[in-house]
Structure 1
């Protein structure tokens, strides 16, 4: 049973750390400009950091913002 207790403790700690990281990254936003139509929109900084595609609210095109 000692092994299960340490496993559960590590799982709780990792869940808390994961939650804190998601909370901090989701709170950070920045303004980016669409390269197609030039509309500025607020996007998550985690999307920019991870090079994820974003959708322009003006022309609906997909783009990846430069760093």
Structure 2
């Protein structure tokens, strides 16, 4: 996805930039209507090192 010469720089930037992610959506309720659903992911202290070490998967592959 990123040029090979920039992958280390991008990996470092991504490792230390996010603090957390919040996702919200409305899901169908049994019997009709909708209910709000929330998901929160908070950056763990070990995460930046994992991001730096993990090789990037080619586009289209997990």
TM-score (norm 2): 0.30
Whose strand proportion is higher, 1 or 2?
Answer: 2
The higher relative CO (CA closer than 8 Å, separation ≥ 6) is in: 2
Q: Which structure's CA Rg is the greater one? A: 1
TM-score (norm 1): 0.29
